[in-house]
Amino acid sequence: MTLTEGMDQVFVLLKHWLVGLAGPHWQPLLSDLISVAALIATFATLFAVTTLLERKGLGRMQNRFGPNRVGPCGVLQPLADGVKALIKEDIVPSGADKVMHFFAPLVLVVPVFLALAVIPVGRNMAALDLDSGVLFFFAVGAATELSVFMAGWSSRNKYSLLGAMRAVAQMISYEVPLILSAIAVIMIAGSLSTVEIVKAQAGYSGVIPHWYVLTPWGFAAFILFMIAAMAESNRAPFDLPEGESEIIAGYYTEYSGFKFALFFLGEYVGMFAVSGMAVTLFLGGWHAPFSFLTWVPSWLWFFAKLIALICVFIWVRGTLPRLRLDQLMNFAWKFMLPMALLDMLAAGLWHFIPAVSARWLVCSALVLGAYAMLARGLIQGRKVAKRTYQYAE
Amino acid sequence: MQDILFYIFAYLALQFGFLVVANPFSRNPVTSAMFLVLTIASLAGLFVLLHAFFLAAVQVLVYAGAVMVLFLFVIMLLDLRAEERERLRTFEVVAGLISAGAILFIFLATLVHSPPGIQQSPTAEGGTIALGRLLFSHYLLPFEIVSVLLLVAMVGVVLLSKKNLK
C-alpha cells in the first residue's frame, strides 16, 4: 500500500484495528459505536469552529472585529460560549407544557445527527450505507419541523407561537423544491444510495471531473438546492422564524441555558448535514476536483467542499437582507417549484438524448428559458420604479 | 432479537395508538397528535423489521413530518375548547364503525388468502427498485387514480381558500 492510499484510508484502517481488538461477538456493536462517536465528535468540533468562523467572518463583512478577547485572536470564544451556556439558569415558563418544552431541543438534535450518518465523508467512509439513503436523509430531516412546532407551541408565548407558525410554513414550502431538485440527481444516477451517487460522479474528462454541478440541469438543481437548504436551516435571508426585530427570537424565545445551546447546535449541524448532502449530490462527494489532485486524501476533499459551502452560507447571511413573508411564499411556490419541475424534465431529456452537443444545447436552452420566464413572472405586476422620498430629498 | 424488537414496537404502536384516542391524563388535541407521531414512528420500526426500508422512510417523511405538522397547524388555528365539548354524533359513530369494519375486512381477507408459515422475507437490496417497477407496471392504474385524488384535493383547497367565490 502506498503512502497516499494509506493516508486516504487512515481512519478506516484505524477503525478496523480498534474493532479487531475486541472479541468476535462484540465486533458489529463496537464498529457502529466507533462510527457514531467519530461522527458526533467531528461535527461537534466543526460546530465550534464554524461559530467562530461565522462571527469573525460576519464581523469583517460589517466592518468590525468580531470576538477577539478570549484567547489569542479570540479563538477560544466557542469554549467560553459553551461554559456560559452550561452554567446559565434553565428557565421554564410556568404556563409551559413541560414535557414538550423539554423534548423539543432533543427532537431537533437527534435527527440532524442521524441525517449525517448516510453521508459518505470519504472513500469507504459512510457510517450507514442504506439502499435508500437519500430518502432516509429527508425522512429524518422532516422531524426538525416537528421540533420547531413543539418548541413554539409548548412555550405558551405568542411570539414563540408566531415564530413556529412562520417556521413551519416556510420549512414545508421549501422542502418541496429541496427534494425535487435532489430527484433530478437521483434520476440520472439511478440510485437512492448516497454511496452509489458519489460513485456515479467518478472519472474525469481530461482534468474536468464528472460532477453533476457541471451539467446545465445539475447547476440549476444545485442552486435551487442551496437556496432551499438555506430556508430549511432558517438562516438569513430566510430567518423570519426568528426575526428578532419583530418577534424577539421566534420559536426559541422561552429557551435559555443549555436548551438554547442545543437549538443552536441543531441548527448548525442541520446546516452541515444539508451542505454535506449538496456535496454528495452535486459536487462529487469525496472526489478530487481535478484529475491531478487525486493523491490528496478523500476525506480532506469532502471537508474542504463542506467548509466552502458553509462559507457561502455565511457570505449570503452577511450580504442579503431578510425577506418579507409574502415574498418568501411567492418565491417558493411561483419560482422554485416550477423551476425544479422543469429541471427534472431537463434531466430526463439529458438522459435520453444520445448526442453530447445536442443534449447540452437542449438542456441549457430549457433551463435558461425556464429561468427567464419564471423570473419575469415573479417580478410582473410589481412596480419597479425609482423610489421617491417625501421628506428625505 | 428480531422477535423481541417486533413485540416492543407492536406494543408501543398499540399503546400510543390507544393514547391518541383515549388519553386518561389530558383531553388536549395537541397531546393526541404528538402520540400519533409516536405511533407512526413505532409503525416505521415495524416496517424496518420487515426489511421495508423504503416504506419506513416514506412513512416517517410523509406522515410524521409534513402531514403531522399540518394537522398540528390546523389544531392550533381552530378553537380547541369548542372541540373538547363536542359530543359524538350518531352519524359520525356509524361512519367511523363502517370504515373501521371495512379496513378490518381487508386485513382479514388478506390474512386468510396468504399462505401460512414463515416466508423468506424480501431482502433490502433492490427493494426500492422492485417497488418502483411494480408501481409503474402492475399497479399503474390504482397509482394514477390515487394521484388524481390528490390533485382533486389540491384543487378543492385552492378553490375553498379563494376569498371571493363567483
Residue that wins the pLDDT comparison between B107 and A389: B107
A379 class by beta-carbon count within 10 Å (0-12 exposed, 13-18 middle, 19+ buried): exposed
pLDDT of residue A350: 86
Q: Flag whether the ipTM exceeds 0.85.
A: no
The residue from B49, B82, B115 where one domain ends is: B82
Residue that wins the pLDDT comparison between B140 and B60: B140
Of A100, A132, A172, the CB nearest to B66: A172
Distance (Å, whole) CA B40 – CA B44: 6
A73 class by beta-carbon count within 10 Å (0-12 exposed, 13-18 middle, 19+ buried): middle
The residue from B23, B54, B82 where one domain ends is: B82
Give whole-number Cα distances, A83 to A25, A46, A86, A333, in Å: 40, 17, 5, 43
- A-B CB pairs within 8 A amount to 65
Read out DSSP for A140-154? HHTHHHHHHHHHHHH
| pLDDT band per the 50, 70, 90 thresholds, residue A20 | confident
pLDDT of residue A157: 82
- Do B76 and B6 share a structural domain? yes
Query: Grid coordinates representing A273?
Result: 448535514
Distance (Å, whole) CA A197 – CA A201: 7
pLDDT of residue A124: 77
Query: What is the tens place of the pLDDT at every residue in A177-201?
Result: 998 999 988 888 888 888 888 888 8
The amino acid at A106: L
- Do B151 and B75 share a structural domain? no
Work out the average pLDDT over A70-80.
83
pLDDT of residue A39: 87
- Whole domain around residue B24: which residue ranges? 1-82
Query: What is residue A135's three-state secondary structure?
Result: helix
Query: Grid coordinates representing A188?
Result: 440520472
Chain A residue nearest residue B75, CA to CA = A153
Work out the average pLDDT over A246-261.
81
A250 to chain B, closest Cα gap in Å: 16
Read out DSSP for A96-125? S-HHHHHHHHHHHHHHHHHHHTTS--STT-
B71 touches A at CB < 8 Å = no
- Kind plus residue range of the DSSP H or E element containing B120: none
Strands A208-209 and A204-205, by their bridges, are antiparallel
pLDDT of residue A2: 74
| pLDDT band per the 50, 70, 90 thresholds, residue B79 | low
Residue that wins the pLDDT comparison between A364 and A207: A364
Work out the average pLDDT over B46-61.
80
Asked which of A25-29, A54-58, A89-93 is least confident by mean pLDDT, the reply is: A25-29
Choose among A317, A163, A168: nearest CA to A252.
Answer: A163
User: Domain for residue B50, yes or no?
Assistant: yes
Distance (Å, whole) CA B53 – CA A217: 29
User: Domain for residue B140, yes or no?
Assistant: yes
B60 to chain A, closest Cα gap in Å: 6
- Do B75 and B137 share a structural domain? no
Q: Are A147 and A112 in contact (CB under 8 A)?
A: no
The share of chain B scoring above pLDDT 90, in percent, equals 9
Give φ, ψ of B138 to 5 degrees: -70, -40
Q: Which of A166-170, B66-70, B84-88, B150-154 has the highest mean pLDDT?
A: B150-154
Q: 418568501: which residue's cell?
A: A328
User: Domain for residue B118, yes or no?
Assistant: no
Q: 436551516: which residue's cell?
A: A233
pLDDT of residue B121: 54
Asked which of A233-242, B9-18, B94-103 is least confident by mean pLDDT, the reply is: A233-242
pLDDT of residue A29: 79
Q: Which residues of B touch A138 (CB under 8 A)?
A: 57, 61
* 3-state class percentages of chain A: helix first, strand second, coil last, to nearest 5: 70, 0, 30
Choose among A154, A159, A157, A158: nearest CA to A98.
Answer: A154
Distance (Å, whole) CA A308 – CA A315: 10
Q: Is the pLDDT of residue B144 over 50?
A: yes
* Beta-carbon contacts of residue A55 (< 8 Å; ≥ 6 apart): A66, A67, A77
Distance (Å, whole) CA A184 – CA B128: 17
Work out the average pLDDT over A380-391.
72
B124 to chain A, closest Cα gap in Å: 7
Q: Which residues does residue A209 pair with via DSSP β-bridges, in sequence order?
A: A204
Query: Grid coordinates representing A180?
Result: 425535487
DSSP strand E in chain A: where?
204-205, 208-209
pLDDT of residue B102: 93
Q: Is the pLDDT of residue B101 over 90?
A: yes
The share of chain B scoring above pLDDT 70, in percent, equals 83
Q: 423504503: which residue's cell?
A: B54
pLDDT of residue B104: 92
User: Domain for residue B18, yes or no?
Assistant: yes
| pLDDT band per the 50, 70, 90 thresholds, residue B152 | very high
Work out the average pLDDT over A276-289.
86
CATH of the domain at B19: 1.20.120.1200
pLDDT of residue B117: 60
Distance (Å, whole) CA A138 – CA B68: 15
Q: Which residues of A touch B131 (CB under 8 A)?
A: none
Asked which of A7-11, A191-195, A297-301, A308-312 is least confident by mean pLDDT, the reply is: A7-11
pLDDT of residue B84: 55
A76 class by beta-carbon count within 10 Å (0-12 exposed, 13-18 middle, 19+ buried): middle
pLDDT of residue B103: 92
Work out the average pLDDT over A75-84.
86
Chain A residue nearest residue B54, CA to CA = A132
Q: Which residues of B touch A140 (CB under 8 A)?
A: 60
A183 touches B at CB < 8 Å = no
User: Domain for residue B139, yes or no?
Assistant: yes
Work out the average pLDDT over A66-91.
84
Distance (Å, whole) CA A390 – CA A387: 10
The share of chain A scoring above pLDDT 70, in percent, equals 98
Q: Which of A59-63, A378-382, B50-54 has the highest mean pLDDT?
A: A59-63
* Beta-carbon contacts of residue A11 (< 8 Å; ≥ 6 apart): A38, A122, A125, A299
Asked which of A117-131, A225-239, B106-120, B141-155 is least confident by mean pLDDT, the reply is: B106-120
Contact assignment for A168 to B73 by CB distance below 8 Å: yes
| pLDDT band per the 50, 70, 90 thresholds, residue B124 | very low
User: Domain for residue B104, yes or no?
Assistant: no
Distance (Å, whole) CA B79 – CA B82: 6
Q: Which residues of A touch B57 (CB under 8 A)?
A: 132, 135-136, 138-139
Query: Grid coordinates representing A48?
Result: 465550534
User: What are the sequence ranges of the domains in chain A?
Assistant: 3-377
A146 to chain B, closest Cα gap in Å: 6
